[in-house]
Structure 1
Amino acid sequence: MIGIGHEGIEREDVAREWSAARKIRVLSRGAGADVLEVEEGGRASVVKVLRRGASLVERARFAREIDALASVRHANVVRIDKVVTDAEGVRAIVMPRLVGSSLRTWLATFGRMPAPFVLTVFSDVLDGLSELHGRGVVHRDLKPSNLFIGREDHERPSDARGIVLDLGLASTASGAVTTGSHLVGSVRYMSPEQLLAGGIDARCDVWGTGVCLFEALTGGPAFPTDDPLEILRHDPVERLVAPTSPDRRGWSAIARVLARALAKRPRDRFASAAAMREALLEARGEVAR
């Protein structure tokens, strides 16, 4: 199992770790891992626990997340504080508890976001992605449930920001998770090259960010289908309608960012997350005028 010897991450035996916990609450259950909130010593953490009997693919995803995040210390990327092991190897990862909500929950609760807020959140997200890309990591599974708007438990409300979560499908220098001929990821958010099993690089995440950005701005999906052929044919920017004032300001600049981020051919997109972030900040400047 990879990732357990990375500098800066503490290793702990799983039996000792669980015996010290005072409160445990299940946040979610997945096919291969459960996510818990664990309170110990008056401080809460989030613990992702690999299920016993998890498939080889799920184990590989778990290891991939550790490998991708082990050395990353960036305000806009979720952090691993501890790796927990048992006799079978890596069993759990401990991360800070975040206060806020995923983009998915936000949109389901409040609908579309005001443009200035969207541009601020997504400039944060792109800053985090730029850090990952600089380390040779491509997320590959950007979607509203993997983007968080909030802060760490101990931080001030004013520290709220966009944070990238869940790198279980990340492509790293040591390889990417595959499942034979099956698509890996969420089809509505996958880039054309992913759908066509082509080469993957940072521009894949530029596409995923663009799809999420469209959804945050409009409150609706960029691609209302899971049919890969329809996604390859469809251009969501064509049906982009400017909102009513005051969010209408700078809308043409936002539309240009979306059109480039969602270009079907990778070479027509922003070459990097940093380049997309720069364009987004320029658009935010127009919105603020």
Structure 2
Amino acid sequence: MVYLDDNQIGKTDVNGGFLIDNISPGTYKISIEMEGYKRTEKSFKIKGGGLTEQANIKLQSSTPPIKEPKAPEKKIEPPSKPREPVAVPKVTVPTPPEVPKEVEKVEKVEVPAKPKVEEKPSPSPKKEPLLGMFELWMVILIIFLIAGILFLIFGRKILIKRERPRLTIKTPVKPLRVTTPIKGLSLEEAPGVGDYKILEKVASGGMANVYKAVHVKKGWMVALKVPHEQFQSDRTFVERFRREGELGKKLHNENIIHIYESATAKDGFTYIAMEYLEGIDLRQYMDKHGKLPIEEALNIIVHVCRALDYAHVKGVVHRDIKPENIMLPLQKGKGKIVLMDFGIAHTAYLGTLGTGSTYLGTPYYMSPDQISSKEVDGRSDIYSLGVVLFEMLTGQHLFDETDPLKVLFHHKETPPRRPSNVNPKIPPTLEQIVLKMLTKKPEDRYQTVEDLLVELQEFMLKEGIENE
């Protein structure tokens, strides 16, 4: 309680202070009583509007104060004597640099790098094989497949260019042996030429007849070529016939008919004995079938090219390439295509014109080189083969004239017709090959049969034509 001049003027609160009611100005004595504390008195001067100073009155407790227990003081023990160090392995630890107590600026302290210790390489573990046997074979197979694909893309032309399509026969072909007569004709009754008995005539031409004959002593079946009687007395003709027959004996190629013998019998008849084949010549075949499919015509030409390429390398120029001298098997794929009449190539046709000039060859297939009576080479055969190819693809002669003189003039002066004008199915690439074969000047043609063969085979590969 708060008393003013012994009159209660308010209450006191230990936590909230005290509250004094409104008092008139003047000097007063303030007495304060509080439970648990002694009564306290103090004089104050009060003016209007409140106290002039803060009432700061200390109260004294009427009960003795309770002393709080003091915290036990920590005894400061004197430093103990250092223990004797225990024997341990000495470890040297680098001491960090001392840091000054008062540092005005922070300086960068470089810590020395640890010394490099060379480490010995640990032994590498044993490597297991990466591939098993199966995987190894698969890798090898893939390599071969890739090599095959690269070869198909880049190697075909190289292979064709390097190919020398000259299949040679190291030993002459053995003739067929005949032990029984044919068509009821006994060997005693058959006419003979030298050691051969004639069984039947199989072909006849302007210069000679061809007979099917058999060797009396050895039983060989041969094709016997005998010039007509009017040429048998011509010494120049006979000498050339025999010389070219001997030359033909040296040609051993699967696409060339083999010549066994060239001789003159006791009765004066000169003859050539050659390989006998069952077949049909290209002239007879075209007369029966007309123009040929492109695939079939190209297969025939490729075989003839192989024969000519081989002969040219041997130094022999045929000079009489024509359908009658190309023999086909009776059944496709069962037999071989061969070029005939190498033995009498230079005497296949003798025509004397009004100028007195002598020509060797057949007018419908002669090259401009032959007509000019110049020395000819393999490029002359290429021209004649181009005429044959034109005829196979179109079913027509290159120059369709009945007069041989006019035909010769056209070969020398008239540009050839385009094959596609007759047969529109002929591709432009193939047409260009034919026209290049038929150029008038030898230097404008293919210079070798091998060059021609490469282009023909490239065209066949591109068109998907199989070479049989």
Among 155, 162, 165, which residue is 2:337 paired with?
162
TM-fit CA distance, 1:83: 3.7
Label 1:170 to 1:241 Cα distance change in 2 as closer, same or farther (>3 A).
same
TM-fit CA distance, 1:132: 0.6
Among 259, 271, 274, which residue is 2:450 paired with?
274
Q: Structure 1 CA distance, aligned partners of 2:421 and 2:245?
A: 41
The Cα RMSD (Å) is: 3.1
Q: Structure 1 CA distance, aligned partners of 2:292 and 2:341?
A: 23
Matched, 1:238 2:414: no
Q: Structure 1 CA distance, aligned partners of 2:351 and 2:205?
A: 18
Residue 409 of structure 2 aligns with an amino acid whose one-letter code is L
Residue ranges of structure 2 left out of the alignment (5+ in a row): 1-170, 175-191
Secondary structure of the corresponding residue to residue 321 of structure 2: coil
Task: Kindly indicate whether the alpha-carbon contact (under 8 Å) linking 2:226 and 2:269 is maintained by their aligned counterparts in 1.
Answer: no
Match of 2:464 in 1: 288
Q: Which has the larger radius of gyration?
A: 2
Among 397, 400, 404, which residue is 1:224 paired with?
400
Aligned 1:1-289 pairs, distance under 5 A:
17-18=195-196, 21=197, 24-30=199-205, 32-39=207-214, 44-51=221-228, 53-87=232-266, 91-150=270-329, 158-167=333-342, 168-170=344-346, 181-225=357-401, 226=404, 227=406, 228-238=408-418, 240-241=420-421, 243=423, 248=425, 251-288=427-464
Secondary structure of the corresponding residue to residue 131 of structure 1: helix
Match of 1:3 in 2: none
Q: Structure 1 CA distance, aligned partners of 2:289 and 2:433?
A: 24
Note the alpha carbon deviations across 1:217-243, whole angstroms, 9 max, x for none. 111111213312222232334353374
Q: Structure 1 CA distance, aligned partners of 2:419 and 2:204?
A: 37
Q: Structure 2 CA distance, aligned partners of 1:157 and 1:283?
A: 22
Note the alpha carbon deviations across 1:106-160, whole angstroms, 9 max, x for none. 1111101111111111111010001110111111111111112228xxxx96353
Task: Kindly indicate whether the alpha-carbon contact (under 8 Å) linking 2:194 and 2:266 is maintained by their aligned counterparts in 1.
Answer: no
Match of 1:4 in 2: none
TM-fit CA distance, 1:271: 0.5
- Normalising to structure 2: TM-score of the pair? 0.51
Secondary structure of the corresponding residue to residue 210 of structure 2: strand
Q: Structure 1 CA distance, aligned partners of 2:203 and 2:234?
A: 18
Residue 194 of structure 1 aligns with an amino acid whose one-letter code is Q
Secondary structure of the corresponding residue to residue 45 of structure 1: strand
Instruction: Give the number of the structure with larger relative contact order, counting CA–CA contacts within 8 Å between residues 6 or more apart.
Output: 1
Note the alpha carbon deviations across 1:167-199, whole angstroms, 9 max, x for none. 31349xxxxx99772222112211111112223
Label 1:195 to 1:88 Cα distance change in 2 as closer, same or farther (>3 A).
same
Note the alpha carbon deviations across 1:23-72, whole angstroms, 9 max, x for none. 61012344553311124688632111245544234313422431331111
Task: Compare the two structures and name the one with the higher helix fraction.
Answer: 1
Task: Kindly indicate whether the alpha-carbon contact (under 8 Å) linking 2:255 and 2:339 is maintained by their aligned counterparts in 1.
Answer: yes
Label 1:209 to 1:183 Cα distance change in 2 as closer, same or farther (>3 A).
same
